[in-house]
Structure 1
Amino acid sequence: MADPIDPSGLGRLLSETMSALGQFGGGPQDDVVPPEGVGEAADGMVRAAVAPPGRVTALALDPRVMRMASESLAEEITRAVNGALADLQEKAAGAVPGQVDLGGLGDQLRRIQEDAGRQLTKFTDSLIEAQDRLARQGGK
């Protein structure tokens, strides 16, 4: 006779799989605030803020910069935006979790797959056995 089926076995395997995948993916993304890059130019009179995927979210100009030649002002705005993009890139690189042990994750998932195969085999064997018993009882 087959071993009794552990009804929580499949749920446990699913939980283990999700946990293993969570290690790879870094977990839920709902709580994550995207980084923001900030840059300044013209001695702080031009300030820019950017957010992924490279959008300018704010541009602040001190009224004194309006006295600058348009070419100079354009250069300072460009410098502030580029500084903000560099800051964003640095912050985004720092937000990436450490290296994932793909070999370890693969081993974990392989073990979970093997456990799931054994559980499904037990479940199928039990169903076949129950079907055979019902057929024998119906023949009497």
Structure 2
Amino acid sequence: MLGEGGFERQLVDVRALLRETISRASEEGRDEPGEYVAEAADGRIRVTVGTDGRVGAVEIDPRVLREGAEYLADEFRTAVNAALDGRGEQNRTDEPVPDLDALNSAVERLQDQSIRQMREMTATIGEVMRKLHKS
């Protein structure tokens, strides 16, 4: 059984983990798992869409330029749209996204309430023990 200090330490650790998770989520962009790369023109055009939804990199093999401007434009558009579609698929989920700030607040309230209750119980047990020793 945990004493007052052990229980409080666990709650402090949980809150620290939540703060770290919240911080990491905001740095990475919440619900955005990473970049997505798509290819077109038989792999001669590669487009990377970043976590912010913007095109991050475009790689074009110089040999594809021989195909002409219209072909290049069509294939480039195909690669960009495929990258955007793939990124959208990565971000889809049927699972609800937890509100980490609300969860952190709830744990904080739980910690405060638990510490108060633990102190009250400790005081009551101490009082009972004193009475038993007097008898």
**TM-score, scaled to structure 1:** 0.52
Stretches of structure 2 that go unaligned for 5 or more consecutive residues are 124-135
Which residue does 1:11 correspond to in 2? 9
Which residue does 1:72 correspond to in 2? 71
| Larger relative contact order, structure 1 or 2 (CA cutoff 8 Å, min sep 6) | 1
Which residue does 1:133 correspond to in 2? none
Report deviation, 1:101.
7.9
Report deviation, 1:77.
0.8
CA RMSD of aligned residues (A): 4.1
Aligned residue for 2:116, secondary structure, equals helix
Report deviation, 1:54.
1.8
Which residue does 1:57 correspond to in 2? 56
Higher helix share: 2
Rg comparison, structure with higher value: 1
Report deviation, 1:44.
2.2
Q: How far apart are the structure 2 equivalents of 1:35 and 1:101?
A: 19
> How many residues are aligned here?
110
Q: How far apart are the structure 2 equivalents of 1:72 and 1:101?
A: 45
Identity level (%): 31
Which letter maps to 1:115? S
Which residue does 2:85 correspond to in 1? 86
**TM-score, scaled to structure 2:** 0.54
Query: Contact 2:53–2:84 (CA<8 Å) still a contact in 1?
Result: yes
